[in-house]
Amino acid sequence: MNARLCTEDAVAAWLRALTPAQEVLFPERSPQDGAFRFEPVRPTSPISFAGYLPTQLPPAKVFAPARDPLFAFRPTPDGSFEVEPHLDTTARVIAGVRPCDLKAIHLMDGVNAEGQEDPHYFARRRAALLVSYACPTPCDERCFCASTGSLDHRQGADVVLTPVDGELLAEPLTDAGVALISTLDGHACDDPASLVQRHRDARPAPFGRQLDASPAAIGQALARTWDAQVWLKNAEACFTCGTCVVVCPTCYCFDTEDEASLSEPGSGTRYRSWDGCLLQDFAVVAGGHDFRKSLAGKHRHRVKRKFEYHNGRFPEDGAFCVGCGRCGAQCTAGIDIFHMANDVVAEEAK
């Protein structure tokens, strides 16, 4: 489908040239804290595919921002309310999306399409084009994407960039991707599959950290280890800061609130904001009742969501942990879902 080979400089020039027509996001290192974040590409933005670590927040969060206005409301003379939805249809190209994050976006597409489709998520998602980058080496010492089946994920990308023999193979996977790379300077490639295989053959093996069992086996072990000591061990170290769920590309819980207008009584805006199962008050409901008081239970719930619960809802997609390693990297206490999953496997084997 019109694949072509090009240099990284050509790809960088192409991304910069796309910016007048739409917002283009690419990982950029912050001079303040050294963390990588998806930032709008500017004429002087550094663009390097080989040199960026996992971004602090995953690209999936572009489609579900931390504080998202859902709709404005105002009273009408007849006593009812007028509602004006807020839908963000900004055209975007998100480039440099690693396969684990691409898999996470695919999983979130499924979650947000289930039952009543989420119009706010899909307004952003359908207005965005994704340019994925196939990792030739582990992007970080904490990654375990190969163990979770995310390493070769391509579904959902409009263009996949694969480094091979000092060049980048650009493969459009959708009609929108074909149009997107029409201005990319390079030469035609008639056999992209062989180059992709060459890229994969050159990767180190094993690729990144390896779980002690398959995601399916971990899910089965979780079903049999409700009282595993691993939950208590991690609860003792946890501060319930919620950083792990904030940076996770497949955590999507939220809370809603209405912000009243002071100038127009009865009017306001409804927002949703990130929430998460590791936050202290997440399970507190009306009357002050907490249906998951135990911190150990909170950790158990989180890990079961990633390796057990969702497998029944989306059996074709596998684990909801994509192996990006963000939670362990960002956790104040050093708690890592990779170790928790392995500990559960070891406990179940006793």
DSSP-derived secondary structure for 256-276: EEEEE-SSSTT-EEEEEEE--
C-beta separation of 305 from 264 below 8 A: no
> Residue 66: CA atoms inside 13 Å, Cβ hemisphere, count?
6
- The two tokens of residue 55 are 């971004």
pLDDT at 313: 85
Q: pTM for the complete prediction?
A: 0.95
350 has pLDDT over 80: no
- The two tokens of residue 24 are 């283009």
C-beta separation of 191 from 213 below 8 A: no
| 3-state DSSP assignment of residue 320 | coil
319 has pLDDT over 70: yes
Angle made by CA atoms 254, 260, 266, in degrees to the nearest 5: 125
C-beta separation of 24 from 40 below 8 A: yes
pLDDT at 238: 93
Instruction: Transcribe 63-107 into DSSP letters.
Output: GS-SEEEEEEEEE-TTS-EEEEE------EEEEEE-HHHHHHHHH
113 has pLDDT over 70: yes
Average pLDDT value over all residues in the chain: 94
pLDDT at 79: 86
| pLDDT (tens digit per residue) in 122-146 | 999 999 999 999 999 999 999 999 9
| 3-state DSSP assignment of residue 38 | strand
| 3-state DSSP assignment of residue 153 | coil
H or E element, residue 247? helix 243-247
Q: Give burial (CB, 10 Å; 0-12/13-18/19+) of 350.
A: exposed
C-beta separation of 154 from 160 below 8 A: yes
Instruction: Please state the rounded mean pLDDT for residues 327-346.
Output: 95
- The two tokens of residue 318 are 């596998």
Confidence of residue 257 (pLDDT cuts 50, 70, 90): very high
pLDDT at 103: 98
pLDDT at 1: 61
pLDDT at 293: 87
- The two tokens of residue 68 are 């998202």
- Strand partners for 271: 69, 257
H or E element, residue 108? helix 99-113
User: In angstroms, rounded to a whole number, what is the distance separating the alpha carbons of residues 244 and 329?
Assistant: 9
Confidence of residue 234 (pLDDT cuts 50, 70, 90): confident
pLDDT at 50: 78
User: In angstroms, rounded to a whole number, what is the distance separating the alpha carbons of residues 208 and 196?
Assistant: 19
Q: At a CB cut-off of 8 Å and minimum separation 6, what does 197 contact?
A: none
| pLDDT (tens digit per residue) in 261-280 | 988 989 999 999 999 999 88
| pLDDT (tens digit per residue) in 33-43 | 889 999 999 99
- The two tokens of residue 100 are 């684990």
Instruction: Please state the rounded mean pLDDT for residues 337-343.
Output: 96
| 3-state DSSP assignment of residue 36 | strand
User: In angstroms, rounded to a whole number, what is the distance separating the alpha carbons of residues 25 and 15?
Assistant: 9
| pLDDT (tens digit per residue) in 48-97 | 987 788 999 999 999 999 999 999 999 999 989 999 999 999 999 999 99
| pLDDT (tens digit per residue) in 284-314 | 888 988 889 889 999 999 999 999 998 878 8
